[in-house]
Chain A
């Protein structure tokens, strides 16, 4: 019940944000907003595995790219329908293809979830640094596969052309922003629901002391698989609309370092113990990066992240949310 209220409240906030930006009538706001909201989804997804269970995933970019490239694959298939099938079959297929983006998002979620499950199954017997290294390796393997896969453009990339006409929305960027905003609401609702559930306590037990969790009868391997699957699915969903957003996609942009770094840094800076942390971190860092983009240069982005990360690790190891909570607790006991 509380989850329903939270969902309605965050949906209302999202609507206010959307119509607020729309009132400005500047398309660029939707572009910048899309990137920030996309990071909210990515950071929240990363935090389900990295924050709640304490397993640091360095392969966020790979999951993001899996989502992006599952869309590219489906979009490319749509362009080949006439060559591959007889006229009648092609006509039937063309009624569904090209698939609308929400469907692409769902499919990306399934693919990302499967890869997350597979990664979990192969690597979750590793702990600490070894798990992190394995996720990094996964990113390298997937990037190599995509670079050598000509069908989706290989290393030279692929053009993805967004449909020109939209109903209700004034531009395609605006539509993508609204969609991503909805996904952000969804991911926050999921993260918060997990946090307050038996599943969330199981995750927290794994994070605090895995051996003790086992001894208490927490099915650690199963729960970790739930976390990798869910986290992988949500990251891939965040990547699904990316080809349409960027227009031209190549492996180096989809597997970009900024996704891996940001999806770790944002929850760390915001706080990894609650759903609010990744939200705060993503909005703060994402906005800073977008401001730096237009005022200084896009190259300064990762520098900002690096510096902030160092500062926060020193002054607020539990992130902004943790810092605020500590202050509140101190005031209450005074």
Chain B
């Protein structure tokens, strides 16, 4: 069974500041879709709308989880997590004063995830051996790359069907960015996830994306139906490659 997500004509604002205007996009079952855009174009806000952290002013967000349709607008974040949608927040947002293991356990806070704690934890440690080594270290004392691994691991502890990743490359060295992107791909394949990834690092994101959207000033400016289409688009060249 597979899961997908469809965003239809979503508008969102913080007070009087409009952030997202009439955005529609979909992530089909088993796809990795990149949401590309530079800072301040509404990528994170869209992620927060999906998670129920920011409430859209208008529009629909419908998740199809293993054949069951759920309208996400109006649901609380914990209900949305319970459905099987996990967010790796921008800037990692770990619990710095808790240990690596405790951070992972908190990912499995919801009932649905608790049954699989052991299997998921074992997989996290297998996928990221560094986390196993640093099990009892405080999360805040790890390096940026390790923290990003932990943030991914914590999201996986939720046993998600759909994974949202918000700017995994922020604050990481180029080599670590590539490694993080690879890890996302690997996790996606292992868990048969559907992935929506917001990213400004175009070249890295396109490596694993099936298709993508470019968001500019809160609107979808371009939809690339394949990685090639993204690579050869003028707007993308202009925004990301300075050509």
Contact = CB atoms under 8 A, between A and B. Distances in A.
Given A201-B102, A208-B98, A217 B93 contact: no
Contacts of A211: 53, 89, 93
Interface in B131-182: 154-155, 158
Contact of A209 (B82, B86, B93, B105): B93
A201 B107 CA distance: 11
Interface in B83-115: 86-87, 89, 93-98, 102, 105-107, 109-110, 113
Interface-centre pick from A201, A211, A217 (highest chain B CB count, 10 A): A217
Interface stretch (B26-34, B73-81, B121-129, B199-207): B73-81
A208 B96 contact: yes
Interface string A194-218: 0000100110110111011111111
B196 interface: no
B106 A218 contact: yes
Interface in A212-233: 212-221
Contact of B105 (A201, A212, A219, A220): A201
A193 B204 CA distance: 46
Interface string A261-302: 000000000000100000000000000000000000000000
B51 interface: yes
Given A218-B78, A219-B78, A213 B106 contact: yes
A215 B105 contact: no
B87 A209 contact: no
Chain A, interface residues (CB within 8 Å), range: 20 to 34
Output the residue of A208, A216, A219, A221 with the most chain B CB within 10 A.
A216
Given A216-B158, A219-B76, A209 B109 contact: no
A207 B107 CA distance: 15
Nearest to B160: A217
Contact of B95 (A209, A220, A221): A209
Contacts of A216: 81, 106-107, 109, 154-155, 158
Interface of B: 51, 53, 76-78, 81-82, 86-87, 89, 93-98, 102, 105-107, 109-110, 113, 154-155, 158
Given A198-B109, A202-B106, A218-B78, 17 more contacts: A204-B102, A205-B98, A205-B106, A207-B97, A208-B96, A209-B95, A212-B93, A213-B95, A214-B53, A214-B77, A215-B53, A215-B87, A216-B107, A216-B109, A216-B154, A217-B82, A219-B76
